[in-house]
Each structure stands twice: as structure tokens, then as C-alpha cells.
Amino acid sequence: MSSEEKKAFLLLKSVIFQYHGLDEDEQQLLDDTVASLDAKDESEWVKSFISEDYYDAFDRARNYLVDVMNNLDRKTRISFLESVCEDNNKKGYISEMEAIAMITFARDWDIENEFIEIIKR
């Protein structure tokens, strides 16, 4: 995974988890992802991106990610969202706001139908 893809993936996961406030389980899932991807620098970039304007981070992330994701193949876009969905399941729940946020990203990236099928499983 390239550095740009790591940034995009971590930004996606971070804005979804922080949509309602980051709890301890979500932070651990993010830390595990950073470690597994060897993405400390990319993680710092994501933290800086979000802290620039926490309340507007989701909309800014949408704008940033639409360009990055639409340059990636369909399978990669789907796998990124599926991974975030799986991590939400690991923590034991997916809030309505998180589900809507993921569907919004899927719509932005033209993979909504595929992602809805994943959710149904």
C-alpha cells in the first residue's frame, strides 16, 4: 500500500470513528491499523488534518478522499470501507451516524450498491 493509500485509509477510519467522539476501543483499533501498516507518518498527517478543524473534518475528508479514491480501483475502495465496517463490528456496534457516514463515502466513490450488499451480510 502506498503512502497516499495509507493516508486515505487512515483518514477514512479516523473520521468514521471520530464522528461521534473517539472512544478507547476505537483508538485501539486505529493504533492496531497504524502498526499493521507501518504508517506512523501517515497517522500523524491524519491527526493534523483532523485537528485543523475537528468540526469540519468529515466534510473536508469527503472532499479529499473523493479525489484519492476515484483514482483507486473499485476493489480497493470497497475493501477500505469493508475494513472500517469490520472494525466497527469488532467494537461491538455501528452507530447510525457511522453507518450513514460509510454509505455517504460509498456513494461518493460510486460503490454504494456493493457496500450495501456487504452491510446486509
- pLDDT score recorded for residue 41: 95
Q: For residue 119, what pLDDT is reported? A: 81
pLDDT at 121 over 80: no
Q: Where in the chain are the domains? A: 3-120
Q: What is the pLDDT of residue 54?
A: 85
pLDDT tens digits along 71-108:
999 999 999 999 999 988 888 878 888 889 999 999 99
Over residues 28-54, the pLDDT tens digits come to 888 999 999 999 999 999 999 999 988
For residue 21, is pLDDT > 80?
no
**By the 8 A CB rule, do 8 and 65 touch?**
yes
Provide long-range contacts, Cβ within 8 A and 24+ apart, for 107-114: 108/62, 108/65, 108/66, 108/69, 109/65, 109/66, 109/69, 109/70, 109/77, 109/81, 110/70, 110/74, 111/74, 111/77, 111/78, 111/81, 114/74, 114/78
